[in-house]
Chain A
């Protein structure tokens, strides 16, 4: 009997991946090609005749390119500062650099509007007061502003990848150069950075794709800037009358094709960097670290980032959350607790909080379980196609996935329930949980699983009683990665929520749209604190898990 159960488990994993990953795409294609309303290829024709097309495509790629360059430079500098200098408080710097990853870019954009709107942003007011200038220092409603906010948010991804690479590079290689009389910077440029290049390249691709997909920041700042990218154009196609879903679907198909091709490239680079990593052994820590002027400059860069990306936005949100109405003139300011009171009293807030926790936790759990079985089958049974399938949603822009879920499930019984949000979240989490789990499972001695097999244990028992408990700290951190993503998920939820299934990020978006900025700021802060709290717990538990 158990033999059939075994086939059932495999079948269930295949089925869940097909339903979660492939089915939504299948439904968006006919819409995008105009088959659903009988106007075959009408969206394509409309697209090709769209005069805005060149500008939209140019904006999309220009933004992604600039963000990639800026965030890669920042990420590499951070990694060098933390890993290759003897800077003080490196642990704190690390924590600060990681904070923006936890915050949704939307929250960052909200904060930066307060900080750098041309006339009344705090930074510009300070600039005018100090210099007597009539012009603002910097406008957030501009290409530069949008690029800045996104760069600040994605730089940590580059940092974490490059830092990993630096940790894995055999310090002896750099020491050898130093002994030969190479200057620090020369060593970095000739040895360290080239060795980390696969990591830099793969993060550059990842960041490029993430930026291509970004909707929320462009949606908030791009209007006044007159700056439209492909995802924002999708949003506008749906939200400007006459709402044209098929046109949006076609633009979505185009976007997903671009990101899909880039992700294939990304996986190729990752594969190559995997071979590269073998050069350096693990655990070779560089004993002699760099000091002096180079360190001084890097320290300035890191702490400036901490101030610009973390301290200032949090301060701005805090201030905004206590303001009676928006103003940057201190003599005009009226402070009140009303925003917080209204937020905490609002039934929508309590509902959104509960929904966010439920959807996040359930979806994270499902995604971890599927990820675990996918890793098991892909590594122990050599079914690599499962892992590939589970990684596919990495190429799905959130806004396209949301649209695809609408096309797929609108009118079915799960529409308007938490279940549809859970399904969409699981799809989004799958690449992350699978990757977080397949790495430790790969390192696992295959005999662990085979011993169970020979003793008579079938898949279910081997995964739940052997693999999962052994890699439990990875299971836990995969769950947490997914859960924290769930807390800040906007792109898909904005399409799928109903009043009963509203979640916190949607509530922030709605508050912004309805002009209740102070409540949006308060809720953003709550979201941020919830994240920090969770991560702190995770680090504690994580350490305990590892010590066992």
Chain B
């Protein structure tokens, strides 16, 4: 099963489409004019809230086109978009979910997306695009975090490998995000593939990990000190460190599962030009940097240098892994969910 997971140095991967950055500046005036005439657009997105709002705001400032955000987690958002499209027209113009799998099988296969290659995304490798319809624009790492008030330095070393999480010292001190979406579910599947299902059972049953429903609630449990350590978290928790919270995001030695946020233009968009202009915007250096600054996720454009705060708050993934066959990967997650729910008592 490991075959589906390729390890790839992100920087190496990004290098192959370095040229893209140059074309970004010169957008078609024609598209911009038509887009401005449409005045607004609706963005269905599972992206980080802060980043989505920041980018929407910036886009509006730049082009005077207002962006209405419908933010939901991936599965309900896909359901909503599919159901709306099935019996009529969805209000969505731009559609974003986390994970290539749901985008490919749930949306693109159903011909719900228009063919449009955004400026700047032309050279994206195949694993980060669904034909000419959907394109990954940012990578969300799924990792761990700890509360600096509650975890001793020698314990931090243990946390760097998932094996270390079974150390008795952590018993009753950990939070875990439920495998509710493709990202958390993906990491869960990796854990199961690498260490066996017994590992997950040990986390829940022996280590008494408390299960929270979303990444945000797990993060809050760590930040507030409710739990000392948290698993299945995005680097977003470290944003709170800037506000003074005693929290650190940790890079794992084992691996860091990386999932892209993927966007496409709705085939039935009411604001097709504004949607295309927005897609172009997502692949500008400006947008990529803005996203990285507000989520601490990893920009997909190689040249972008996020202004990450103090490095000690946040260790970027040393060993990112991603999937080659996202559709099958998704199916595997779905096949295992029932079993995981049994372990979680859900």
CB–CB under 8 A between A and B in the complex?
yes
Residues of A within 8 A of B (CB): 51-52, 55, 117-120, 141, 219, 223-224, 226-228, 236, 238-243, 245, 324-329, 332, 334, 346, 348, 406, 410-413, 415-416, 498-500, 510, 512-517
CA distance A510 to B44 in the complex (A): 14
> Would you call B88 and A324 a contact (CB within 8 A)?
no
- Asked if B330 lies at the interface with its beta carbon under 8 angstroms from chain A, I say yes
Give chain A nearest CB distance to B244 CB in angstroms.
Answer: 5
Given contacts A141-B210, A499-B68, 12 further A-B contacts (CB under 8 A): A51-B342, A117-B221, A117-B224, A118-B226, A223-B212, A223-B346, A240-B180, A242-B337, A327-B224, A348-B69, A411-B87, A513-B73
List of A residues within 8 angstroms of B86 by Cβ: 410-411
Top 5 A-B pairs, shortest CB-CB distance: A411-B87, A515-B216, A226-B345, A499-B70, A326-B224
Contact of B224 among A120, A236, A412 (CB under 8 A): A120
- Asked if B83 lies at the interface with its beta carbon under 8 angstroms from chain A, I say yes
> Would you call A410 and B73 a contact (CB within 8 A)?
no
CA distance A277 to B112 in the complex (A): 61
CA distance A33 to B244 in the complex (A): 53
- Identify whether the interface residues of A are mostly helix, strand, loop, or mixed: loop
Give chain A nearest CB distance to B230 CB in angstroms.
Answer: 12
List of B residues within 8 angstroms of A412 by Cβ: 87-88
27 A-B contacts (beta carbon < 8 Å) = A118-B226, A119-B226, A119-B227, A223-B178, A223-B211, A228-B345, A239-B73, A239-B76, A241-B185, A241-B333, A241-B337, A326-B220, A327-B245, A346-B53, A348-B69, A410-B87, A411-B84, A411-B86, A415-B84, A498-B91, A499-B44, A512-B217, A513-B216, A513-B217, A514-B71, A515-B214, A515-B236
Bits for B206-229, please: 1 = Cβ < 8 Å to A, else 0. 000011111111011101111100
> Would you call B244 and A332 a contact (CB within 8 A)?
yes
> Would you call B226 and A329 a contact (CB within 8 A)?
no
List of B residues within 8 angstroms of A119 by Cβ: 225-227
Give chain B nearest CB distance to A226 CB in angstroms.
Answer: 3
> Would you call B76 and A500 a contact (CB within 8 A)?
no
> Would you call A515 and B68 a contact (CB within 8 A)?
no
Give chain B nearest CB distance to A418 CB in angstroms.
Answer: 13
List of A residues within 8 angstroms of B143 by Cβ: none
> Would you call B68 and A500 a contact (CB within 8 A)?
yes
Q: Please name the residue on chain B nearest to A407 by beta carbon.
A: B83
A413 and B333 contact, Cβ closer than 8 Å, known pairs A239-B75, A327-B245, A332-B246? no
CA distance A238 to B73 in the complex (A): 12
- Asked if B49 lies at the interface with its beta carbon under 8 angstroms from chain A, I say yes
> Would you call B246 and A411 a contact (CB within 8 A)?
no
Give chain A nearest CB distance to B344 CB in angstroms.
Answer: 6
Within B150-201, which residues are at the interface with A (CB < 8 Å)? 178, 180-182, 185
CA distance A224 to B49 in the complex (A): 23
- Asked if B268 lies at the interface with its beta carbon under 8 angstroms from chain A, I say no
Within B98-152, which residues are at the interface with A (CB < 8 Å)? 149
Residue with the greatest number of chain B CB neighbours at <10 A, chosen from A226, A240, A348, A512: A240
> Would you call B225 and A245 a contact (CB within 8 A)?
no
Q: Please name the residue on chain B nearest to A332 by beta carbon.
A: B246
List of B residues within 8 angstroms of A334 by Cβ: 243-244
- Asked if B240 lies at the interface with its beta carbon under 8 angstroms from chain A, I say yes
List of B residues within 8 angstroms of A516 by Cβ: 49, 216
> Would you call A498 and B244 a contact (CB within 8 A)?
no
Between A and B, how many residue pairs show CB distances below 8 Å? 139
Give chain B nearest CB distance to A369 CB in angstroms.
Answer: 30
CA distance A512 to B217 in the complex (A): 8
> Would you call B342 and A52 a contact (CB within 8 A)?
yes
CA distance A324 to B223 in the complex (A): 11
List of B residues within 8 angstroms of A512 by Cβ: 217
Bits for B319-331, please: 1 = Cβ < 8 Å to A, else 0. 0000000000010
Q: Please name the residue on chain B nearest to A55 by beta carbon.
A: B345
CA distance A238 to B72 in the complex (A): 13
Q: Please name the residue on chain A nearest to B237 by beta carbon.
A: A515
Within B48-88, which residues are at the interface with A (CB < 8 Å)? 49, 53, 68-71, 73, 75-76, 79, 83-84, 86-88
> Would you call A238 and B79 a contact (CB within 8 A)?
yes
A416 and B49 contact, Cβ closer than 8 Å, known pairs A223-B212, A240-B75, A241-B75? no
Contact of A411 among B69, B88, B221, B223 (CB under 8 A): B88
> Would you call A325 and B240 a contact (CB within 8 A)?
yes
> Would you call A515 and B219 a contact (CB within 8 A)?
yes
CA distance A498 to B89 in the complex (A): 13
List of A residues within 8 angstroms of B49 by Cβ: 514, 516
> Would you call A224 and B210 a contact (CB within 8 A)?
yes
> Would you call A513 and B214 a contact (CB within 8 A)?
yes
CA distance A517 to B211 in the complex (A): 18
List of B residues within 8 angstroms of A324 by Cβ: 243-245
> Would you call B88 and A413 a contact (CB within 8 A)?
yes
List of A residues within 8 angstroms of B224 by Cβ: 117, 120, 325-328
Q: Please name the residue on chain B nearest to A410 by beta carbon.
A: B83
- Asked if B4 lies at the interface with its beta carbon under 8 angstroms from chain A, I say no
Q: Please name the residue on chain B nearest to A346 by beta carbon.
A: B53
Q: Please name the residue on chain B nearest to A499 by beta carbon.
A: B70
Q: Please name the residue on chain A nearest to B48 by beta carbon.
A: A514
List of A residues within 8 angstroms of B341 by Cβ: 52, 236, 240
Give chain B nearest CB distance to A48 CB in angstroms.
Answer: 15
A117 and B42 contact, Cβ closer than 8 Å, known pairs A241-B330, A242-B334? no
Give chain A nearest CB distance to B133 CB in angstroms.
Answer: 21
Give chain B nearest CB distance to A340 CB in angstroms.
Answer: 15
List of A residues within 8 angstroms of B346 by Cβ: 52, 223, 226, 228, 236, 240
Residue with the greatest number of chain B CB neighbours at <10 A, chosen from A228, A328, A499, A500: A499
CA distance A514 to B219 in the complex (A): 10
List of B residues within 8 angstroms of A236 by Cβ: 341, 346
A327 and B216 contact, Cβ closer than 8 Å, known pairs A334-B244, A411-B84, A411-B88? no
List of A residues within 8 angstroms of B213 by Cβ: 219, 223, 513
Q: Please name the residue on chain B nearest to A510 by beta carbon.
A: B71
CA distance A241 to B99 in the complex (A): 13
List of B residues within 8 angstroms of A327 by Cβ: 223-225, 245
Q: Please name the residue on chain A nearest to B40 by beta carbon.
A: A500
CA distance A327 to B150 in the complex (A): 13
CA distance A515 to B246 in the complex (A): 16
Contact of B334 among A51, A239, A241 (CB under 8 A): A241
Give chain A nearest CB distance to B193 CB in angstroms.
Answer: 17
Q: Please name the residue on chain B nearest to A139 by beta carbon.
A: B210
List of A residues within 8 angstroms of B84 by Cβ: 410-411, 415-416
List of A residues within 8 angstroms of B88 by Cβ: 411-413, 415
CA distance A332 to B224 in the complex (A): 10
CA distance A410 to B91 in the complex (A): 12
CA distance A499 to B149 in the complex (A): 39
CA distance A224 to B346 in the complex (A): 10
Give chain B nearest CB distance to A83 CB in angstroms.
Answer: 42
